[in-house]
């Protein structure tokens, strides 16, 4: 169905044309004086200059044609006011017919987009091994809503949960598990057999292990260093730690899917940071070959400053001095993967607003390196935080946060 504004313009265009004036002057807009009228047409003012006539005369002529040739069925009121405005009010009968027509249409009269886009919506962003809490509602619901609206419009929407499954929390869990259950085969350097299929923990135990390990790392520097080393070994493919990681994923993802299902939130892709791992080395090599990535204090960075910046934009850190990957590394590699798999026309990231600078850096590197075309929209939709009694955002790693399922 055509929009009401378009239908009104059609009637005004007929009237202007019948009076010998160009149809382009018949543009209808919402009134800036709703106390006087609902809509208005100011075209007579511009037409007066083109046709060397008084605007009020042109407005009156147009209204006379409008009301004598069918337009009166749409308008309850159409009047010319000095110096040449046309004030319009719709008739109740027209509105009733229009809404009745909407109700009879499959999509309430909405016309599909002329050129559907493939759009990646990155939302959810849950971290494995952590329970979802009330603060996770926003990413899930905002992202799901955007995805559904896009589909309703006719776009090809691809929702990706993009799990946090490859960072320091994995090393923390592995080392805490080592301290609690050193007898497990994963910690026997001489073990060469198959690893157990059953995980050495339940979801309840796993969710208690992480905050305990996080707290310990703040007090025990040696433990923190072990966790960093475990994370690096995991990322480099150490088989025993990969086996523990798969257990963590199996247990966590099953629980996450149950919670998201309760919210009626569905993802097309259950990808995570780990899925970007195969793309990282080639991507870093490409950034280096293009002269974009350079070493700074042992780490690898890319400058993303632009001449138009009004605030400081620090370099994007691609790889730490110890060779470990960072969020920027996996987010960039994920974009490489998405470009290969889906060739998106648009990216939408629904993430906590505190990540705004991070994504600004990632988007700039993506376009500077030619991973994404310059004209591809990359949109960061940041939302606020849900805070505890201390006024600070909830942190599951510190424990004591009500679970979302509760």
Tokens linked to 148: 């559904």
Q: Which domains does the chain have, with CATH numbers?
A: 4-95 (3.30.1360.70), 118-164+266-383 (3.40.50.620), 168-256 (no CATH)
Beta strands in 18-175 (DSSP E): 28-30, 39-41, 75-81, 85-90, 118-122, 156-160
pLDDT at 214: 92
Give the containing element (helix H, strand E) for 64. helix 55-68
Express each pLDDT in 57-97 by its tens digit: 999 999 999 988 655 689 999 999 999 999 999 999 999 99
Kindly state the average pLDDT of the residues 240-263. Answer: 95
Tokens linked to 3: 């929009």
Q: Are strands 85-90 and 39-41 parallel, antiparallel or unpaired?
A: antiparallel
Kindly state the average pLDDT of the residues 102-106. Answer: 93
Kindly state the average pLDDT of the residues 259-266. Answer: 96
Average pLDDT, the chain: 93
pTM above 0.75, yes or no: yes
pLDDT of 277 strictly over 80: yes
* Between 93 and 402, residue with greater pLDDT: 93
Q: Is the dihedral of CA 218, 222, 224, 227 positive or negative?
A: negative
Spatial distance between the Cα atoms of 301 and 286, rounded to a whole number of angstroms: 13
Q: b or e along 165-188 (b: 16 or more beta carbons within 10 Å of the residue's beta carbon)?
A: bbbbbbbbbbbbbbeeeeebebbe
pLDDT at 244: 97
> Which of 238-242, 341-345, 353-357, 396-400 bottoms out in mean pLDDT, i.e. has the lowest?
396-400
pLDDT at 305: 96
Q: Percent of the chain at pLDDT above 70?
A: 98
Express each pLDDT in 165-224 by its tens digit: 988 999 999 999 999 999 999 999 999 999 999 999 998 899 899 989 999 999 999 999
Tokens linked to 166: 């490859």
Express each pLDDT in 140-165 by its tens digit: 999 999 999 999 999 999 999 999 99
Place of tokens 């919670």: 259
Spatial distance between the Cα atoms of 332 and 377, rounded to a whole number of angstroms: 15
Q: Which residues pair with 90 in a beta bridge?
A: 75
Lay out the sheet containing 75-81: strands in order across.
28-30, 39-41, 85-90, 75-81
Express each pLDDT in 369-385 by its tens digit: 999 999 999 999 999 98
């Amino acid at each position: 169905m055509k929009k009401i504004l378009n239908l009104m313009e059609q009637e005004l265009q007929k009237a202007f044309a019948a009076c010998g004036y160009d149809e382009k002057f018949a543009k209808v807009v919402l009134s800036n004086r709703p106390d006087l009228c609902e809509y208005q047409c100011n075209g007579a003012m511009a037409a007066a200059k083109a046709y060397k006539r008084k605007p009020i005369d042109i407005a009156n002529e147009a209204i006379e044609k409008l009301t004598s040739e069918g337009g009166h069925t749409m308008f309850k009121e159409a009047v010319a006011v000095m110096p040449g405005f046309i004030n319009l009010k719709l008739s109740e009968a027209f509105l009733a017919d229009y809404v009745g027509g909407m109700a009879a249409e499959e999509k309430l009269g909405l016309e599909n987009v002329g050129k559907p886009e493939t759009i990646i919506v990155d939302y959810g962003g849950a971290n494995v091994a952590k329970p979802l809490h009330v603060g996770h509602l926003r990413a899930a619901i905002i992202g799901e809503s955007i995805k559904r609206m896009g589909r309703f419009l006719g776009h090809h929407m691809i929702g990706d949960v993009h799990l946090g499954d490859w960072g320091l929390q994995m090393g923390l869990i592995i080392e805490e598990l080592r301290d609690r259950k050193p007898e497990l085969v994963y910690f026997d350097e001489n073990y060469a057999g198959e690893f157990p299929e059953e995980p050495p923990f339940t979801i309840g135990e796993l969710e208690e292990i992480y905050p305990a390990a996080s707290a310990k790392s703040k007090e025990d520097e040696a433990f923190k260093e072990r966790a960093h080393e475990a994370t690096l070994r995991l990322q480099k493919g150490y088989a025993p730690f990969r086996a523990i990681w798969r257990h963590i994923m199996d247990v966590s993802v099953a629980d996450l899917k149950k919670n998201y299902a309760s919210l009626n939130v569905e993802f097309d892709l259950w990808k995570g940071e780990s899925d970007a791992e195969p793309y990282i080395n080639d991507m870093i090599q490409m950034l280096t070959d293009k002269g974009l990535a350079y070493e700074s204090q042992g780490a690898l960075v890319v400058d993303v400053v632009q001449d138009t910046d009004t605030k400081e934009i620090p370099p994007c850190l691609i790889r730490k001095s110890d060779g470990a990957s960072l969020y920027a590394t996996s987010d960039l590699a994920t974009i490489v993967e998405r470009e290969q798999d889906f060739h998106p026309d648009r990216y939408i990231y629904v993430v906590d607003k505190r990540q705004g600078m991070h994504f600004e850096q990632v988007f700039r590197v993506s376009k500077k390196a030619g991973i994404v075309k310059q004209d591809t929209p990359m949109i960061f939709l940041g939302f606020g935080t849900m805070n505890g009694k201390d006024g600070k955002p909830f942190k599951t790693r510190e424990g004591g946060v009500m679970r979302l399922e509760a």
